[in-house]
Amino acid sequence: MKAKEIVTSALLAALSLLIPIAFGGYLKIYIPPFSATLASHVPSMISMLVSPTAAVMVGLGSTLGFLLIMGPVVAARAFVHVFFGLTGALMIKKGLSFQKALILVAPIHAIGEALIVLPLGFDLYTAFVVVGIGTLLHHFLDSAVSVGLVKVLSSGLSLSSKSL
């Protein structure tokens, strides 16, 4: 990784920690047992444009942030950010656009979060309908925010402009 990529990754990882810790009370939607913190996927999504390593780093930061503020169940769900981020980063590296990558990783994200809560005591309906569909909706909301931010900030960040 180049120095610029490391710094960008570190800043996105810091944001992935900060969003649930500092803004969880303001941006959180809670429909028991589902919870969503608006904008919490944005750092993971943007990191896909930096590199696969950055996406993994930011996904781990997100996991830690949610572990500190929301506990192990939400942290386990956040761990899925590592996988959808890495997959999206690899797609972008192969030439897919940012928007298409976000659409294609949405099922990985939603199904991943649904599957990860099954061994934690969630029934099939709660896991796949409440958590899975809730995550899918949350993913697309945060995707729209991410695409908008990247379009506005792409000239100032070291992001791959060809991916837009």
Reported as a single tens digit per residue, the pLDDT across 17-70 is 889 888 877 888 888 778 899 999 999 999 999 999 999 999 999 999 999 988
**Spatial distance between the Cα atoms of 19 and 13, rounded to a whole number of angstroms:** 10
For residue 30, is it within any domain?
no
Q: Cis omega (within 30 of 0) on the bond before 33?
A: yes
Alpha helices by DSSP H, 28-79: 42-47, 52-70, 72-78
Is residue 9 scored above 70 in pLDDT? yes
For residue 32, is it within any domain?
no
Is residue 114 scored above 90 in pLDDT? yes
Is residue 164 scored above 60 in pLDDT? no
Is residue 92 scored above 80 in pLDDT? yes
**Spatial distance between the Cα atoms of 45 and 85, rounded to a whole number of angstroms:** 6
For residue 29, is it within any domain?
no
pLDDT at 6: 92
Q: Which domain holds residue 145?
A: 3-24+38-163
Could you tell me how far CA 80 lies from the centroid of its own chain? 8
CA angle 70, 66, 131 (to 5 degrees): 75
Q: Which residues contact 161 (CB under 8 A, 6 or more apart)?
A: 154
Give me the CATH number covering residue 9. 1.10.1760.20
User: Would you state the structure tokens that stand for residue 24, as one six-digit string?
Assistant: 């969880």
Mean pLDDT of the chain: 91
The count of structural domains within the chain is 1
**Nearest in space to 104 (alpha carbons), one of 113, 91, 95, 93:** 91
SS3 at position 66: helix
For 73, other C-beta atoms within 10 Å of its C-beta total 18
For residue 31, is it within any domain?
no
